[in-house]
Chains A and B, each alone.
Chain A
Amino acid sequence: MTTPITIEAFEVQGFRAYLKPQSFSLRKGNKPASLAIFAPNAKGKSSLVDAFEYYFSEDATLQRLGLRASQSQTGPVALAHIQAREHGIDAEVNFRFRQGGNKLGEKRNVADGKSIPTAALRVLSSAKVPFVIHGYELRGFVEATAETRYREIASWFSFDPLLSIQRNLRTLQRQIKAKADSQTESDERLRDLKRVTSDAVSIWDETAIRDWFNTHVLANLDPSLIFTEICESDPTYIVLAERKDEEEKRVGLAALNTLIGQIDAVSLPLADNDGELSGLIAKFERSVSDLGVAVERESQERDRASQSVFNDVWSHAKSLFKSEDHDFSSCPVCDTEFASTPHGSLEGVQTSINAKLTLLSAYRQAESTLRTAKQQQSQNVQALTNALDSLRTGLADSDFEAESATVSSYLSALTSWASDHHALPDSGFLLQEMGATRISLTNARERLAAQQGEHTYTQAQNTADQLIQIRTDLNRIFRVKGELQKLLAELVKQTNATEKAINTHIDSLLSELERDVDQLYKKIQDVPLDEPSLIRLQLAEGNAANQQQIRLVVDYSENRKSVAPSGYLSDSQIHTVALSLRLAAIRKFNTGAPMFVLDDVVTSYDADHRKTIASTLAEEFEGFQIVLVTHDEQFFNLLQDHLPESNWAFRRITHIDPSSGPVFTDHRTSDEVIEAKLDAGEPVGDDIRKSEEEWLLKICRDFRVDISIRPVDRPYQYERGELASGLARFLKSKNLVPPDVHGIHHPFLSSLQKGVIENFASHFSDNPNKSFSSGDEKTRWIEFRSFRAMFVCSGCGRNRFKRPQGMSKPVCNVCEKPFQFEILG
């Protein structure tokens, strides 16, 4: 278990009602302490609760302020004191924590404190239950919906992973069910069935499908063939397969079509534009002709260009003679005058050069055409050779032996021509014979088509195979769906078993919390603890969707069990239920950060219940640091009576000073602080005076000393001498004479009355720099403590008293023994 983290102190400045820095210690000696603060309304006590809420807020704001920060000046903007900026004070809250031997702390500045301090995160990681309890919102948890309550309690118990398991199991169930119920895959196969049967059958009906196949497929081929079952083991399927094989061995329509296509590819005449529809023989012969023309043209152009063979020379000469930079009258190469040349002039020379270049260009074009023609002819020869070879084989396979021989003969001639280009093969006979063969084949095709139409054994078996495949697929789909249904049923069982285990676990944990809540409720409501339990936290029963609910009910009476609290309990009882639940949860779950803040939680209680709350805090939350703010002075006094001074500090806010903020008074000045200062040699006169005043006020209140009442806003600002005089009168009237303090010669109470401290120059000084005698202060402190120690109960040793109405002398607050001074030895 990790060491609990505790608060050492917290400070606020420029925050809400606090302008100047104000610090609050939550430590006494070496131990964590609690703090109770009383203040009338609107005096700044809630600002301290706000400091807690803000410091631990993820959103750097208060729940009631929200995140609005626009022109309304609300949201985080409202956190800063309205004069903070004007006074140059940073609005901030600072907490200092201790965890074992480690100290940690961090300021959170309102201006730039968007991210939560690391120290706050450390606390929150150990505090599953929100630990700032506002009295005004307590009822909310009691009256929240069962779902909201479930979510909150689930977060306390870290149920989230368990909720996630339940949620995932339910999602998985839904997905499996959707898949098991899905028709998509089977619908797809039924669409295939509809297509295969030409829309005749749209659902899987063995009889209908068989009848359709027998009637519309097999009957067209052989009416004697009948399927009894559409499957590969049916005897008819075996016959169908055999006939398909036989059909493939005969010439069928497909084979005829192929052969006709091969003949056409070879023998069709030249089409317009020499396109793709031309026969290969025609294209070949055309390319031979084109090549002949190209050869002739190239030869002619070559002859004409022979005189112009030096293309580069003429090209350069052309540019030379066109130069405008020179005024030629003679040849720049041989210096012959142009007039003396065969061309007669420069222009004549230029004309001659252009003519030679033109001849050379025509030759280059003819040479290119020849090259292209050669390539084209070569390609055509190759294509024709391949086509003839295929045709020869096709004809031979189709029993057209003679025609095949004719093709072979032409092919042979073509091959020979390709090697020597001497004798161009004569295609006349071949084309004539292929024309006749084509007519024969076309007639055969028409006969077969008339005989069989679209129904062949090949197609029939193909249809049968598709139907068999569809049935196989549908069977598989239905089997898989069946398996999914079985798995879904099993999943539901295992989900139920899992949820039952989880809910039993949650119920068990809820019962623990329920016992704690009931115990706290009884203590606060002053109900005997052995009375039957009243409060119950019930996990909702029913289907899975309802199980994420926790009902908060009370067994109000024998005939009113499990009823909603709001229908039967009083306002204060409902308040107690809510407070008990929250406190029980904090005690159970926040052990790593034992602290909580109570913000005016006793508003709806009478005096007796305030007393039980005070005693409950003292008895049940001894190990917790509590910061309690209240505007109820009676409750505050009760707290002072019931809570041990050893680990509680009490502070009062009397008013707000506009220049600084809430003004505190009447706080207890601890002995430890004074003694630590004495040990350190620091001035301590003011602290001793405050301590004396605090004690005087306490004992006067306990004894109900008759002193004049102050105005409401200064109820505890009595003068020390006034209190001491009142106490002296009271003691004298009751014949209670305090013994002398050892070492001094007058009653110590007199010095309190006079306000005079012997040899104690700095005691009432407002000037901290004024000289002081630490020895005198120490002596004074010892004398005061000795005097104070006389006011103890001779029966139980406690130092709190009371004097109920009608009683003359004070009695011990606990054992009620009449007070009297012990005779010092």
Chain B
Amino acid sequence: MSDGNSSNDDLVTEIVRSLRGNPEADQALIEILAEHILKTDPVDTAVDDAFSSIDNLALERGETNT
């Protein structure tokens, strides 16, 4: 039987690769998710960190896309 943890790592890697491969997807958002959420060993503050990054992304886009 394959080790559960390595199997999970493989799956998550594949999920990130698949999301990145979608040309219609928001790549900046995917990178935020890949950095903070789509991990088998996320840090305790993963959700807050991702939220902060997404909020900043919205702010940046809101200020530049007038």
Cβ distance B48 to chain A, nearest Cβ, rounded Å = 8
Q: How large is the interface on A (under 10, 10 to 19, 20 to 34, 35 or more residues)?
A: 35 or more
Contact of B29 among A159, A490, A501, A505 (CB under 8 A): A490
A171-179, A696-704, A765-773 - interface stretch: A171-179
Restricting to A567-606, which residues have a CB under 8 Å from any CB of B?
588-589, 591
Query: A705 in the interface, Cβ–Cβ < 8 Å?
Result: no
Cβ distance A678 to chain B, nearest Cβ, rounded Å = 43
A138-146, A224-232, A358-366, A475-483 - interface stretch: A475-483
Most buried by B among A158, A165, A486, A490: A165
Cβ distance B50 to chain A, nearest Cβ, rounded Å = 5
How far, in whole Å, are A157 and B54 apart by their CA atoms in the complex?
Answer: 32
Contact flags B1-38 to A (C-beta < 8 A → 1, else 0): 10111011001101100110010011001100100011
Contact of B58 among A128, A162, A475, A484 (CB under 8 A): A484
Cβ distance A544 to chain B, nearest Cβ, rounded Å = 14
Q: Is the CB of A494 within 8 A of B25?
A: yes
How far, in whole Å, are A588 and B3 apart by their CA atoms in the complex?
Answer: 11
How far, in whole Å, are A19 and B3 apart by their CA atoms in the complex?
Answer: 42
For the complex of A and B, list the 4 residue pairs with the smallest distance between their C-beta atoms, beginning with the closest. A158-B4, A480-B62, A161-B40, A479-B62
Instruction: List B contacts of A589 (CB < 8 A).
Output: 1
How far, in whole Å, are A501 and B12 apart by their CA atoms in the complex?
Answer: 9
Query: A309 in the interface, Cβ–Cβ < 8 Å?
Result: no
Given contacts A476-B62, A487-B58, A591-B1, contact A168 B8 (CB under 8 A): no
How far, in whole Å, are A162 and B41 apart by their CA atoms in the complex?
Answer: 10
State the interface size on chain B (CB cutoff 8 A). Answer: 38
How far, in whole Å, are A502 and B10 apart by their CA atoms in the complex?
Answer: 11
Query: A735 in the interface, Cβ–Cβ < 8 Å?
Result: no
Cβ distance B49 to chain A, nearest Cβ, rounded Å = 10
Q: Which residue of B lies closest to A176 (CB)?
A: B54
Query: A169 in the interface, Cβ–Cβ < 8 Å?
Result: yes
Q: Is the CB of B19 within 8 A of A498?
A: yes
How far, in whole Å, are A505 and B13 apart by their CA atoms in the complex?
Answer: 13
How far, in whole Å, are A162 and B37 apart by their CA atoms in the complex?
Answer: 10
**29 sampled A-B residue pairs with Cβ under 8 A:** A128-B4, A157-B4, A158-B4, A161-B5, A162-B8, A165-B38, A165-B39, A165-B40, A168-B46, A168-B47, A171-B47, A172-B37, A172-B51, A176-B55, A476-B63, A480-B61, A481-B58, A483-B57, A483-B58, A484-B58, A494-B26, A494-B33, A497-B19, A498-B15, A498-B38, A501-B18, A502-B11, A502-B15, A505-B11
Q: Is the CB of B55 within 8 A of A484?
A: yes
Q: Is the CB of A164 within 8 A of B42?
A: yes
Contact of A487 among B4, B11, B46, B54 (CB under 8 A): B54
Instruction: List B contacts of A754 (CB < 8 A).
Output: none
Given contacts A161-B8, A498-B38, contact A480 B59 (CB under 8 A): yes
Name the prevailing secondary structure of the B interface residues: helix
Instruction: List A contacts of B47 (CB < 8 A).
Output: 168, 171-172, 175
Query: A293 in the interface, Cβ–Cβ < 8 Å?
Result: no
Restricting to A476-532, which residues have a CB under 8 Å from any CB of B?
476-477, 479-484, 486-487, 490-491, 493-494, 497-498, 501-502, 505
Cβ distance A163 to chain B, nearest Cβ, rounded Å = 10
Instruction: List A contacts of B38 (CB < 8 A).
Output: 165, 498
Instruction: List B contacts of A482 (CB < 8 A).
Output: 62
Given contacts A165-B12, A168-B37, contact A158 B5 (CB under 8 A): yes
Which of A's residues lie within 8 Å of B, judged by CB? 128, 157-159, 161-162, 164-165, 168-169, 171-172, 175-176, 179, 475-477, 479-484, 486-487, 490-491, 493-494, 497-498, 501-502, 505, 588-589, 591
Q: Is the CB of B25 within 8 A of A501?
A: no
Q: Is the CB of B51 within 8 A of A162?
A: no
Q: Is the CB of A490 within 8 A of B26?
A: yes
Q: Is the CB of B62 within 8 A of A169?
A: no
A-B contacts besides A158-B5, A158-B7, 13 pairs, CB < 8 Å: A158-B3, A162-B8, A164-B42, A165-B42, A172-B47, A172-B50, A176-B54, A479-B65, A479-B66, A486-B26, A490-B26, A588-B1, A591-B1
Q: Is the CB of A168 within 8 A of B42?
A: yes
Contact of B19 among A179, A477, A494 (CB under 8 A): A494
Cβ distance A324 to chain B, nearest Cβ, rounded Å = 83
How far, in whole Å, are A164 and B40 apart by their CA atoms in the complex?
Answer: 8
How far, in whole Å, are A4 and B41 apart by their CA atoms in the complex?
Answer: 27
Cβ distance B57 to chain A, nearest Cβ, rounded Å = 7
Instruction: List A contacts of B15 (CB < 8 A).
Output: 497-498, 501-502
Instruction: List B contacts of A505 (CB < 8 A).
Output: 11
Most buried by A among B3, B37, B51, B63: B37
Cβ distance B33 to chain A, nearest Cβ, rounded Å = 6
How far, in whole Å, are A487 and B29 apart by their CA atoms in the complex?
Answer: 7
How far, in whole Å, are A505 and B12 apart by their CA atoms in the complex?
Answer: 10
Q: Which residue of A lies closest to B7 (CB)?
A: A158
Cβ distance B27 to chain A, nearest Cβ, rounded Å = 10
Q: Which residue of B lies closest to A499 (CB)?
A: B15
Q: Which residue of A lies closest to B64 (CB)?
A: A479
Cβ distance B46 to chain A, nearest Cβ, rounded Å = 6
Q: Which residue of B lies closest to A501 (CB)?
A: B15
How far, in whole Å, are A171 and B47 apart by their CA atoms in the complex?
Answer: 7
Most buried by A among B40, B58, B65: B58
Q: Is the CB of A175 within 8 A of B65?
A: no
How far, in whole Å, are A505 and B63 apart by their CA atoms in the complex?
Answer: 41
Instruction: List B contacts of A128 (CB < 8 A).
Output: 4
Instruction: List B contacts of A164 (CB < 8 A).
Output: 40, 42
Cβ distance A598 to chain B, nearest Cβ, rounded Å = 22
Q: Is the CB of B18 within 8 A of A497?
A: yes
How far, in whole Å, are A648 and B12 apart by their CA atoms in the complex?
Answer: 44
Instruction: List A contacts of B11 (CB < 8 A).
Output: 162, 501-502, 505
Q: Is the CB of A501 within 8 A of B65?
A: no
Instruction: List A contacts of B55 (CB < 8 A).
Output: 176, 179, 484
